[in-house]
Amino acid sequence: MWTTPFYNDPGVIYMARELKCDWVGAVNVSEYPLGAVNDCHNNVLAYIDLLGGEQQLGYYFVKGFNTMQAIKHSVWKDGNDLLDVTPYNDNREYIIFAKQRQTTEKYSVPNCYIQSLDKYIKQENCTMYYVYQLVDPRNNQPFYVGKGSGARAQTHLWQKGFTPNPYKENKISAIRNEGLEPCIEIIAENIIDEQLAYDMEAAMIARYGRKGYDKDGILTNKCPDNRPPNHKGKTYDEIYGAERAAQQRRMRSKLQKDRGGYGPKKHSAETRLKFKELNTGTGNPMYGRSHSHKSKQLIGEANKRFVGELNKKSKKYKLTSPIGEEIILFGGDAAKYCKEHDLSFSTLRMQIYAGWGIPKKGKTKGWKFEVISDK
């Protein structure tokens, strides 16, 4: 599931630098006997009351699901020595930890993932997703894996009159008939990229297997991958089947005829004349006005053709297309180019910082990204 990376892993170094940490390395774990799992800050403060020392804030790193995660964390500091006093369920002997420069508990970035680190740093207002599992307390085995946001995990335990998954509901009923309640365990949280959450969910389902579908499967999930289907490029017959496809065509034909036929609605000559009068002369929003010098500059820059050599003092990159076309880019121009050409910059730069290969799927399929010089 989650494993501890090496301290010199390129992904660890990249994340530590971006998170404004000034040191990264291995820190031994020596559990505080009265400490609690997932309560590192209070564990360290209690340890300080007992033996003195200081609290060191930072992040520790784990790898899994083809990603890397940085998790907010506190360790105990005595002079230059660091010690992790928080217990872990897997009884690990050490962690890879990065020291945060600031000394307050106000983290600028929460638990985060390497693919979307720039989104966390920019603090974009995005929905946060998580991956969870429902666990049978009688044998501590998961029986359902899901992805959601908000109270999604709790909704499985609500009383429902109808359910599309009777196998899961029967399991919940059997547990409750013995006076127990299913447990909800969070596998990963604070996920900005929904596709990453779907990937983690699918990996967990594949790991445990589905009962009745996979050998020795234990999950009640109906589908191996719950992400919405992609219908791009498919015909009605491929999506709905021949019979339902014919129904869809008849329904959509009727809707088009009811609105006046196919194609965009045409305004009458009278309406077009009214629009013209409203936007002519004093009706024009820019009548008697001129753009400011700053606005003119912005408009001029927007109309310039992107040439990729705006800042030759920055890093020099080479982006190679699937057909072998080479584009030379400098500094922040790489991100601009990707945005203008519908490429995922965060995915491409993982080839540099995390050693990923050339993507085999998605919008960046076949694109190669590399550093030519680091000025």
The whole-number pLDDT of residue 317 equals 86
Residue range 316-373, CATH number? 1.10.10
The whole-number pLDDT of residue 235 equals 77
State the CB neighbour count (10 A cutoff) for residue 354: 19
Model confidence over 47-58: pLDDT tens digits? Answer: 999 889 999 999
Model confidence over 206-237: pLDDT tens digits? Answer: 999 998 888 889 999 988 877 766 666 677 77
How far apart CA 149 and CA 126 sit, in angstroms, is 11
Please enumerate in sequence order all residues whose Cβ is within 8 A of that of 220, keeping only pairs 6 or more positions apart, or say none.
143, 144, 165, 167, 168, 171, 210, 211
Higher-confidence position of 301 and 17: 17
Per-residue pLDDT band for 311 (boundaries 50, 70, 90) equals very low
End-to-end CA distance of the chain: 39
What's this model's pTM, rounded to 2 decimal places?
0.55
| pLDDT of residue 312 exceeding 60 | no
Collapsed DSSP state (helix, strand, coil) of residue 184: strand
Per-residue pLDDT band for 314 (boundaries 50, 70, 90) equals low
- In which region does residue 148 sit, left (phi positive, over 0), alpha (psi from -120 to 50) or beta (all else)? beta
User: What tokens appear for 249 in the block?
Assistant: 């065509």
- Please state, rounded to an integer, the average pLDDT across all residues of the chain: 83
* Neighbouring-strand partners of residue 316: 330, 373
The whole-number pLDDT of residue 182 equals 94
How far apart CA 308 and CA 153 sit, in angstroms, is 46
How far apart CA 327 and CA 317 sit, in angstroms, is 8
The whole-number pLDDT of residue 103 equals 59
State the CB neighbour count (10 A cutoff) for residue 308: 17
The whole-number pLDDT of residue 33 equals 82
**Percent of the chain at pLDDT above 70?**
85
